[in-house]
Structure 1
Amino acid sequence: MSKMIELHDIDVPGFLAVLDKCVGNVYLMTRDGDKLNLKSKLCQLVGLTALIEGGKIAEAFVMCDNPEDESKLFRFNLYKDETDTK
């Protein structure tokens, strides 16, 4: 598994669009030690609901099984644009 990526001020619809393009598992890590697989729509609902403030994800930590998925999420976090991802 790869390193943890810290995401800040993430647009939820854009983040979900990038998640849909990921091929491996992507895990949301909470400060309480919970680990939710974001490839599951139920886990997306449960996990992201707790992190959303004002329509955006205030702060999140994710880990990816696939290095390419990690790159997609890193670029999205940096540039805030899901259209650059394949």
Structure 2
Amino acid sequence: MAPMLELHNIDVQSFLSVLDTCEGDVFLVTRDGDHLNLKSKLCQLVGLTKLIEGGKISDAYIICSKPEDETRLFRFNLLGDMGDAKKPEDKKDEK
């Protein structure tokens, strides 16, 4: 597994929605070399709070264990395509 995706200025809520649709492990790799498994809600809280500046992810890399998850996150990063993920505002309507 090699770094495949560099994140800059990602909407965190939308990113987490897309992340929930991933089937394999997704690791956030920080500049310091920390690997956080973002399928864990605890790692999401710990890792993302360190990287968030003004509601956006400042600088990180993503490594996926499954190629289809790489494709899903690449499309989100490049095109903003959320695929099957629900938009954050749609999740609020469900409550």
Q: What TM-score, normalized to structure 1? A: 0.91
Confirm whether residue 49 of structure 1 aligns to residue 49 of structure 2: yes
Return the offset for 1:5: 1.0
CA contact (8 A) 2:4 2:70 kept: no
Within 5 Å, which residues of 2 pair with 1:4-83? Answer: 4-82=4-82
SS, match of residue 16 in structure 2? helix
Q: What TM-score, normalized to structure 2? A: 0.82
Q: Higher strand share goes to which structure? A: 1
| Matched residue count | 85
Whichever residue aligns with residue 23 of structure 1, its letter is: E
Runs of 4+ displaced beyond 4 Å:
none
Return 5+ residue gaps in structure 1 as ranges: none
- State how far apart, in whole Å, the 2-side matches of 1:3 and 1:43 are: 18
1:21-54: CA deviations, max 9, x gaps?
A: 0000000001111101000000000010011111
Change (3 A) 1:77 1:10: same
- State how far apart, in whole Å, the 1-side matches of 2:4 and 2:31 are: 12
- State how far apart, in whole Å, the 1-side matches of 2:29 and 2:67 are: 17
Question: Quick check: 15-24 or 72-81, which moved more?
Answer: 72-81
Return 5+ residue gaps in structure 2 as ranges: 86-95
Q: Between the two proteins, what is the percent identity of the paired residues?
A: 66
